Structure formats: structure tokens, C-alpha cells
Amino acid sequence: MPLPAPGPDRTALVTGASQGIGAEIARVLSLQGHHVTLVARSTEKLKALADDLDNADVIALDLADRAGRASLLDQIAKRGRVVDILVNNAGLSTLGPVSKSDPSAELNMIEIDVAAVSDLCSRFLPGMVERRRGAVLNVALTASFQPLPGQAGYGAAKAFVLSYTQSLAGELRGTGVTATTLCPGPVHTGFGERAGFSEEDAEAALPAVMWVTAEDVAKKAVEGMAKGRLVVIPGRINRAAAALSQVTPRSLLLPILAKNHPGLP
């Protein structure tokens, strides 16, 4: 099923659009003629991206703010548009063992990585189903298929995204609306530094053949949405690793993951 066609009253809502995968997905959609609504906390970065795109609106918003999230639908409606494509890309991670974690940071991560995804789907899917057109892309990662010691909350949050989106896809059959999970492997976006570990540490822990660019991930993501795919995993090695992780006994997998994670001693 192709993506909904661009239109003067339609938009693609992309969260976490200020940089990395979100910015590149917005760029791909814009090049295909879609109006995009860019959402993130950084007004300056969003405006800089919007200036590079043909047709974009900016909404600066912290997705951990529940009242702010609740206002998004009305903010977009006041601009004369409906959301036909929803990309839940915003996310963050904590780092280190849970025994040394900051409870407020853990809950903030869950608010953005889990609650915001569910919240925005609940708000925008009714309109899509009523119009019988739409596409949802929720961004997880290849670690959604396995535990992630050193980033336990983050891995579990992304496992939620994977399961939740697959359930959505089952519910949406026959409605004209699709749901796709994007599960990239390691990507050079600066995400690791924001989480608390250096890119050098990440590169040492993960083979070079697994790394992909944000541009390639975005192209595969939009292509996967357009084809109505259930899961998109960019990179042959990453697809193989995701499949292997699902069948490897946890008693064997966990020590390996814990030993190689830069967030654990």
C-alpha cells in the first residue's frame, strides 16, 4: 500500500526531527512532496532544517510534557492540516546499571520512549482510520529483539515499541492505515554521546559492518512504510544479528552483551 498522497491540507508529523534519523526522514518525505511538521525541543535546529525543506512547519515541544503532547493535534489543525503520516522517532536513553540509576531520569526516558508513542498514536490514529488513509512509523532498534544490560530501560522501552506497533498493524488491517516499526542497528547520529558514552566506545563494542548512516536508514524507513512492511531493519548484517538474537539462549547471550556494553564496568 503506497503512502498517502501529499495534499494542501495534509502533513507528515515527525518527532525528534531536529537531527539524526528524524531529520533525515523528514528530508526524504519532503523530497517526495509531503508537507512535514517538525517536532523536537530545539527551536533553532528545527528552524534550520525547515529552511532547507520546501514545505515544513516547526513546533518546538518537549514530548515528556503531557499537556504539550495533548495540544499537538489542535496546533496542527489550526494550521489547516491533518496528519496522514506519523513518525514517532523521538527517544533518549540512560546508561549504566539500574542499581546506580536516577529514578527521575529513568521515568523521563519512559515518558518519551513509551508514553509519547502510545499517546500520539491514540490521538492521531482515529482520524487516519476515519479517512481510511495513513501510515505510522514507530522507531525502535535491533536491540528490541533482545535484552540490553547497561541500557535496560531503553532496551525494554524499544521492545514495547516493537510489540505495540505489531499489534497496531494487526488492528489496522483493512482500514487503509499501516503501522511499521523501524529497527536500525548502530547509526552515527551522536545519540551515544547524548546517552553518556563516546562514539569510540560504541564502535569498539560493535563491528564496523553493523554501522549504517542516518541517510540510508531514513530511505529504508520511508520505503518500508510505502510498502506497508511490518518491520524494517536496515543492513543485511543487522537483520541477521536480530534474527540470531531471538533464538540464542539468554543464558548464553546475556554474559556476552553485559561484557561488551560500554555502560557497564
Give tens-digit pLDDT for 179-217: 999 999 988 765 545 545 555 555 555 656 667 899 999
Average pLDDT in the 238-264 region? 89
d(CA 254, CA 184): 21
- Name the phi and psi angles at 61, rounded to 5: -160, 135
Q: Is residue 265 part of a domain?
A: no
At residue 41, the pLDDT reads 94
- Compute the chain's Rg from CA coordinates: 18
pLDDT at 65 over 80: yes
Q: Is residue 2 part of a domain?
A: no
d(CA 193, CA 96): 13
Q: Is residue 48 part of a domain?
A: yes
Catalytic, out of 145, 154, 164, 191:
154
Amino acid at position 106, single letter: E
Query: How many structural domains are present in the chain?
Result: 1
Strand 10-15 with 82-88, pairing: parallel
pLDDT at 20 over 50: yes
Residue with cell 518500508: 224
Catalytic residue list contains 154:
yes
At residue 265, the pLDDT reads 81
Contact 20, 214 (CB under 8 A): yes
d(CA 256, CA 264): 12
Q: Is residue 4 part of a domain?
A: no
At residue 187, the pLDDT reads 86
Instruction: Supply the range of the domain harboring residue 26.
Output: 10-260
> Residue 171: which CATH number?
3.40.50.720
Query: Given 3-state DSSP classes, what are the helix, strand and coil percentages for the chain, each rounded to the nearest 5?
Result: 55, 15, 30
pLDDT at 55 over 60: yes
- Name the phi and psi angles at 132, rounded to 5: 60, 40
